[in-house]
Structure formats: C-alpha cells, structure tokens
Structure 1
Amino acid sequence: MSETSTPVTYQLKIVLVGISPMIWRRIKVSSDLTIADLHYIIQIVMGWKEEHLHQFLIHGVHYGINYPGTGGFMGNAHEIKLSKFGFREREKFSYEYDFYSNWKHQIRVEAILPDESERVLPICTAGKGSCPPENCDLVK
C-alpha cells in the first residue's frame, strides 16, 4: 500500500453483483475518507440502514468494522484512509453487505481526479435501479 500525500478525488462506480437489470451508483469521494466512511456512504446511496455486517476485500485483505463477538479485521476501519491503498484507475475491489443475503458489490475506480475539497463531497452523481430492501433475500 502506498499512501498518496495530496488528497485526490476518487470517482467510484458501485455495482450490486448478480442483479438484472443492473443496480449501480456513481459517487465521488475524497481519498482522505476512511474505510468506515465509505461503508456509511454506500449504505446511504443504496438506501440501506446498516442493519447487517459488512466487509471490503481490498488487495486480498478483508477490512470492516469490528464488533464484539465477530471476527477481527485488519486494522481499524475508522483510521485506515482510502489513500493508503494507492488505487489506480480501473482498479476494482469488493464490498459485501448482509452475509446471509450475500449482497456483493463490485467497486471500480473510474477516475482519479484532482482534489475537489471546494465541492461538497461525498456526492452521488449517477445511478440506476432501486436496491432490494433490508432483510430481503433476493440476491444469491
């Protein structure tokens, strides 16, 4: 992992895998955000309420928020910034939410833009399709 020194803006496309028609969101986020921040943003843009466990798989390592009685994750998701990963354009990583329903998302870095700190970030710039409601076992 190589941390970028100057903040940049990541344009990310989040796709809920295995659903037709496709459900997706495009967001812009600062590289200064943490993994925990990204989780909360995904919850908002997908219309969920954070009722289930989740995890990211980035560069072969699982990351998430540690809760009592759950398995541990690498590091503290509230402290690990996205800039630590040194993402490149077209790079992909995954996000899984609700392990029972197995809602897997592919996240693709569509663009790495200059710092947009003068703009309000994060921002959802596009998307399509309504996400399944919480506790809905449609995705397998």
Structure 2
Amino acid sequence: MSEPVARLLIELKDITPRIWRRVDVRLTTNLRALHDLIQTVMPWESYHLYEFAVGDRIYGEPDPEDAFWDRKVYQAKSLRLSMLINRGITEFLYTYDFGDDWRHRIVIEGVSDAESGLDYPIFLGGERRAPPEDVGGPSGFMEFVEAISKRSHPQHKDMVCWYGGPFHPTDFDEADIAQRVREIAARRKAAYEAFQRSRAMRQP
C-alpha cells in the first residue's frame, strides 16, 4: 500500500476577494515543513516569526522569552499531519508575521493514497496574489491594492516605488509556484533516499 497523502486548503483570512492555495502533502510532513511549504505557495519571504494554533496548543520555534509571557510554544517539527488526523483534527490556524498578523485557515480536506511515480508535495492551484511583506496587515493591503491599481490615486506613485513595480492581484505566478514546489519535492526525495541508503549501510 502506498503512503497516504493529505489534501490541504490554505486560505488567507480577513481578505476579500479570497486568496487561497491547495496542495497535496504526505502525512509524514511535520508543521515545520508545512511552514516552509506555505511560505512557498503564497508566497511569503520567511522574514518573520510564525506559529500554528492546533486546539489549545501553539507550535512554532520555542524561545526562552516565551516563559516570561507565560506562554508555552511546542516545536513545530514535533507534530506531523498524521498525528493531527489521528486526533480527529481537520482544521487549524497558521499565523505568519505577528505584526501584520497574516492568519491562514488550514483545512484537511481529505486523505488518499499517494499516486505511484509522483513526488510530494504537489501544488494543485489557487487564486490571487498574496500581500507583499510588511504592507500593514489586511487593512494596509486593501489600501495598497486600491492605491496601486488606480493611476489617479494620490499614493499611486509612492506604492509603485515602494513595491518596486506594478502589482497584479489576480496574477499570482502559478507556474513559478508550481516549479518551486517541485523543487521542494525533489529535495525531500533526495534526502529520503540518502537516509534509506545510510540505514541500509548500518544494518549487519
């Protein structure tokens, strides 16, 4: 039997129209690896901190200062998607950049067997370009889109200069994202094969 995979919907909250992505990932994927994948498919630039809220627990990159704020953060790499599914969890929250507060709804839409000959993760599609880094959260992004989309807007030139060129909300460069995800899949396949060879060499 082939290793199962989960189909995930990643939806950016508090933004209209919807910005979303859909991916297939192996159930062995941990939350640290899922963070890297979300950064790739939105795409973000991984400049800022992140966390996953799963039930009443927070997963991310623990910091000694968390204790000062009476806050327990668990290692993101310690929790795999298979563990979530076994606990009956079908939806959780991913937050990136605690200043702009980009909150993403992650939905486990289903589980199926992996297709033979395919390398995972696989990018399946999405809609609309994600906000630029440091644009000021959902409200700042809406103001940015309005200004950069209208030449008559008093802040149009400033926004074009700040962003470094035109911004097309409906064009999220799907082909480039798909290629980046294929590169992630190739790296993970190579790492897995190296691990298997190493384990075989250690066996008597």
Shorter-normalised TM-score: what interval?
0.7 to 0.9
Secondary structure of the residue aligned to 1:15 is strand
When structure 1 is superposed on structure 2, of 19-28 and 83-92 the one drifting more is 83-92
Give the corresponding residue for 1:55. Answer: 51
Structure (1/2) with the larger strand percentage: 1
Contact 2:101 2:137 (8 Å CA) reproduced = no
Shift of 1:121: 0.8
CA distance in 2: counterparts of 1:96 and 1:65, whole angstroms: 13
CA deviation map 1:19-41 (0-9, x unaligned): 11110000110011111000000
- Answering whether residue 110 of structure 2 is matched by residue 111 of structure 1, we say yes
- Identical columns (%): 33
- Supply the AA of the counterpart residue of 1:131: A
Shift of 1:70: 5.1
In the TM superposition, structure 1's runs of 4+ consecutive aligned residues that sit over 4 Å from their partners are 67-72, 87-90
Give the corresponding residue for 1:82. Answer: 81
Give the corresponding residue for 1:3. Answer: none
Give the corresponding residue for 1:21. Answer: 17
- For residues 88-103 of structure 1, the aligned pairs below 5 Å read 91-103=90-102
- Answering whether residue 126 of structure 2 is matched by residue 127 of structure 1, we say yes
CA distance in 2: counterparts of 1:45 and 1:18, whole angstroms: 18
Contact 1:9 1:115 (8 Å CA) reproduced = yes
- Supply the AA of the counterpart residue of 2:108: V
CA distance in 2: counterparts of 1:12 and 1:131, whole angstroms: 17
- Answering whether residue 32 of structure 2 is matched by residue 32 of structure 1, we say no
Structure with larger Rg = 2
Aligned residues: 134
Structure 1 gap ranges (5+): 1-5
Secondary structure of the residue aligned to 1:139 is helix
Structure (1/2) with the larger helix percentage: 2
* TM-score (structure 2 length as normaliser): 0.59
- Supply the AA of the counterpart residue of 1:59: G
CA deviation map 1:105-133 (0-9, x unaligned): 11111111113463111111010010001
- Supply the AA of the counterpart residue of 2:29: L
Structure 2 gap ranges (5+): 140-204
CA deviation map 1:30-57 (0-9, x unaligned): 0111110000000000111111111111
CA deviation map 1:55-95 (0-9, x unaligned): 11112211112356556512x32232221112589921110
Secondary structure of the residue aligned to 1:93 is strand
CA distance in 1: counterparts of 2:88 and 2:109, whole angstroms: 6
When structure 1 is superposed on structure 2, of 78-87 and 120-129 the one drifting more is 78-87
